Structure 1
Amino acid sequence: MKEDLVLPAPRETVPEPAGEPLLVAEGLTKHFPIKGGFPIRRTVGAVQAVDGIDLTVRVGESFGLVGESGCGKSTTGRLVTRLLEPTAGRISYRGQDITHAKRREIAPIRSEIQMIFQDPYSSLNPRQTVGTIISGPMEINGINPPGGREKRVRELLEIVGLNPEHYNRFPHEFSGGQRQRIGVARALALEPKLIVADEPVSALDVSIQAQVVNLLQEVQKELGIAFLFIAHDLAVVRHFSQRLAVMYLGKVIEVGDRDSIYNRPRHPYTHALLSAVPEVDVTGDAVARERIRLTGDVPSPINPPSGCRFRTRCWKAADKCASEEPPLIQLSDNREGHLTACHYPEDPSILAHGTSEGAASAKD
């Protein structure tokens, strides 16, 4: 991004106070039915992709959503953008209930909630030029910016670090990182208030990931856009997000600000995730961190465990964990806003306790 480039101001609307809730999800649930039987196709089960989660994204903040593959992160992103219909729960945007809003009711909100998809190769129409791809949302929403749509598209290309002369090129003429920048430009075309970024850098080379993350961070700061940043890379989320939630098997198991989660995690699963992040000690002064190796596989979302869903892989599991689901609450010694769902939370430290191997490794 050029230093002398001035980003355009968002369209004139009544500004919301910073820190006020922008998007709120309560008890959000999505079950995908499993059909079986012959000759009559009937529902024989359901994949519990997302099962009763609560999230709040505030105005202008970057909120991270992390967890391993299959935990329901991407499904959550598609639910809050209303690309999927929720099975249960409630979604409100700027105080308006949009959980089951009809197409006409949600049309004015569509332009304010945009999405950046995970795969830059399949999210762009190969038969359309870059100009058509980016100007498409403006055409659909009847937006005619000053100077015309072509001028606006060229401005957006420059904002995301591409040459405005690429207006007439096709997606196959760009690299993966450049295609993702086109996706960012398309998301910015309607000057949204919230962008859901579904693992926007996971399909890119490591050398390109930092460039795209820095671009999103610059856009977020300059335009005051709120981000729901979905990723499994904890290092990327730590760099980008101010607050984050940790998901496991369709449930949110810990929520807090960046420093609190990374330095004082309380849920055993969060401990295990952080212990898996590689670190390079170039000074020789680093303190040994606890290493935890989880045993077993993630249970099936078709038939998740009773009580705490992490108990089948947890080294602290007890009878209570199987009979009672732990509520997502603030512990007495947690920082305000740091919520944990665990009956037997870990000590607020990520340092090793006398050994470099965590307690879970004893089960190996």
Structure 2
Amino acid sequence: MKEDVAKDVPTGDATLPAPRAATDGGSDEPLLVVDKLVKHFPVKGGFPIRRTIGAVQAVDGIDLTVHVGESFGLVGESGCGKSTTGRLITRLLEPTAGRITYRGQDISHASRRQLAPVRSEIQMIFQDPYSSLNPRQTVGKIISGPMEVNGINPKGGREKRVRELLETVGLNPEHYNRFPHEFSGGQRQRIGVARALALEPKLIVADEPVSALDVSIQAQVVNLLQEVQKELGIAFLFIAHDLAVVRHFSQRVAVMYLGKIIEVGDRQSIYTRPRHPYTHALLSAVPEVELDGTGEARRERIRLAGDVPSPISPPSGCRFRTRCWKAQDKCASEEPPLVRLEGNSDGHLTACHFPEEPSVAARAEDIVLDPALAALERDEQGSAE
């Protein structure tokens, strides 16, 4: 994709807005660069010999850049490849192809020994706060574990450091000897945050860190992560399907669909001036409270038909074309490049042959692609008349 971008902009992400200054000097140098990253999971079949008959194209050639101290959001519906991308970046999964560069070092296929110096700088917060903590270990053991593995002996000892981390994430330092089952979901996620902070990382991949929590607890955890980022200057790759949470936390946002990144930009342009039809559909699904009492919709409404196509056999050309109201023959034959469109602010990249207008205002007529739903609404309108 970067070659395509180069036709319209100087370099792939060179036009993206500069992140805010970080605590280590606010360098604009990329901390993490992902180039044409691919991850295919083989599908086995056949009898009696199990052979590869296909592949799940979970991530299929994505580019993204995260700068020092920046919060970068990655959004999309379930199954689009967000979590797989996070696990590839942390090297919990081996890439099928592509390149992952961290601080100028290619770690795409680095061995365990080569990764050792980098492991402490890239940490992950997992989605499920219940299964990501060892129930047989105390909180003190869980948080100090990374320090033991990396041979780190902080001043004052590991126990003192763990108690400081517990206090940092809003837990009682006296909980050092408690077990995970003695904590609520929100408290467990705070323990996960403390574990990620134990090695003073420069990049944290947060994989849906609040999706398993009650709504009342989500804001507390998100605010905690924001405070941590502000105080320590840590860069975040924030993966989520909740658009409201991503808008609150992230400076830049990338929208992902079926293994591809289809739009990238700063949060203001993504949320108020989207160009890709899928981004429009995604934003139209966000609930909105009417405050003016007029009863009129202030935001466009789009209802898509069908499910996301199978990643084993994705559509040709643009992968969103099977659910898109603007699809034409060109969409099936040519894959749209991720480029800056005319009229877009610098850094806003879109992959669409026929982009939408940069607005989320209500249309003259809702887009309803589901035939059954359209028929139901016609019947309701007829009975009302």
Is the TM value for this pair above 0.5? yes
Contact 2:306 2:370 in 1 (8 A): no
2:121 to 109, 112, 136: 112
- Identical columns (%): 83
Alignment partner, residue 132 of structure 1: 141
**TM-score under structure 1 normalisation?**
0.94
Contact 1:119 1:200 in 2 (8 A): yes
Alignment partner, residue 322 of structure 1: 332
Contiguous gaps of at least 5 residues in structure 2 = 1-22, 375-385
Q: 2:227 & 2:293 partners in 1: Cα distance?
A: 33
Q: Residue by residue, what CA displacement relative to the aligned partner does 1:60-119 show, whole Å, maximum 9, x if unpaired?
A: 000000000000000000000000000000000001000000111110000000000000
| Local SS of the residue matching 1:238 | helix
- Bigger shift: residues 73-82 or 30-39: 30-39
Q: Residue by residue, what CA displacement relative to the aligned partner does 1:190-238 show, whole Å, maximum 9, x if unpaired?
A: 0000000000000000000000000001101110000000000000000
Alignment partner, residue 282 of structure 1: 291
1:232 to 230, 241, 247: 241
- Bigger shift: residues 29-38 or 262-271: 29-38
Contact 1:290 1:351 in 2 (8 A): yes
Contact 1:115 1:197 in 2 (8 A): yes
Alignment partner, residue 308 of structure 1: 318
Question: Where in structure 2 are the equivalents of 1:85-100 lying within 5 Å?
Answer: 85-100=94-109
Alignment partner, residue 347 of structure 1: 357
2:131 to 122, 128, 137: 122
1:336 equivalent in alignment to 2:346: yes
Contact 1:67 1:247 in 2 (8 A): yes
Q: 1:50 & 1:325 partners in 2: Cα distance?
A: 16
1:251 equivalent in alignment to 2:260: yes
Q: 1:183 & 1:70 partners in 2: Cα distance?
A: 24
Contiguous gaps of at least 5 residues in structure 1 = 1-13
What amino acid maps onto 2:335 in structure 1? Answer: E
What amino acid maps onto 1:238 in structure 2? Answer: R
Q: Assess, with a 3 A threshold, how the Cα gap between structure 1 residues 361 and 38 changes in structure 2: closer, same or farther.
A: closer
Contact 2:304 2:368 in 1 (8 A): no
Alignment partner, residue 20 of structure 2: none
- The Cα RMSD (Å) is 1.5
Question: Where in structure 2 are the equivalents of 1:133-282 lying within 5 Å?
Answer: 133-282=142-291
Contact 1:35 1:45 in 2 (8 A): yes
1:294 equivalent in alignment to 2:288: no
Q: Assess, with a 3 A threshold, how the Cα gap between structure 1 residues 18 and 358 changes in structure 2: closer, same or farther.
A: farther
- Bigger shift: residues 278-287 or 292-301: 278-287
- Bigger shift: residues 297-306 or 277-286: 277-286
What amino acid maps onto 1:41 in structure 2? Answer: R
Measured after TM superposition, the shift of residue 19 of structure 1 is: 2.8
Measured after TM superposition, the shift of residue 361 of structure 1 is: 6.3
Contact 1:294 1:313 in 2 (8 A): yes
Q: 1:223 & 1:283 partners in 2: Cα distance?
A: 41
1:101 equivalent in alignment to 2:110: yes
What amino acid maps onto 2:350 in structure 1? Answer: T
Contact 2:254 2:265 in 1 (8 A): yes
**TM-score under structure 2 normalisation?**
0.89
2:75 to 44, 66, 69: 66
Measured after TM superposition, the shift of residue 282 of structure 1 is: 2.6
Measured after TM superposition, the shift of residue 354 of structure 1 is: 2.1
Measured after TM superposition, the shift of residue 353 of structure 1 is: 2.4
What amino acid maps onto 1:293 in structure 2? Answer: R
Q: Residue by residue, what CA displacement relative to the aligned partner does 1:165-205 show, whole Å, maximum 9, x if unpaired?
A: 00000000000000000000000000000000000000000
Contact 1:292 1:361 in 2 (8 A): no
What amino acid maps onto 1:132 in structure 2? Answer: K
What amino acid maps onto 1:142 in structure 2? Answer: G
